[in-house]
């Protein structure tokens, strides 16, 4: 019967072998400020701000939106670009 130590070492080595270096891992988020459209993580995004500023943080299929005041007009979101295949 294998010892606990040999099982633990085998599991640790397997984990290390499967782990990718940090440089190979895709960025997990992108912060957008100002008016922009584009693609991130396979999704189309659009960010429009008037009379102020916003911070639009994109994740993979998620986003977080913050703006400066109630007087700021903001339209932002993620999805599919008009006319794009789904």
- Please give the backbone phi and psi of residue 66, each rounded to the nearest 5 degrees, phi first: -130, 140
Q: How many CA atoms lie within 13 A of 18 on its CB side?
A: 6
Mean pLDDT score, 22-30: 61
Q: Please determine, for residue 17, whether its predicted confidence score (pLDDT) is greater than 90.
A: no
Q: What CA–CA distance (Å, rounded) separates 71 from 52? A: 8
Estimate to the nearest angstrom the gap between the alpha carbon of 52 and the chain centroid: 24
Average pLDDT over the chain, rounded to an integer: 77
Q: Which pTM was predicted?
A: 0.60
Considering the chain, what percentage of its residues have pLDDT values greater than 70? 65
């Amino acid at each position: 019967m294998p010892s606990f130590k040999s099982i633990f070492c085998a599991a640790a080595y397997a984990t290390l072998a499967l782990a990718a270096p940090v440089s190979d891992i895709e960025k997990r988020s992108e912060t957008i400020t100002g008016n922009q459209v584009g693609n991130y993580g396979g999704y189309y995004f659009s960010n429009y701000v008037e009379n102020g500023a916003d911070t639009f943080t994109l994740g993979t299929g998620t986003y977080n939106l913050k703006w400066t005041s109630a007087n700021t007009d903001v339209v932002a979101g993620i999805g599919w670009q008009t006319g794009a295949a789904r």
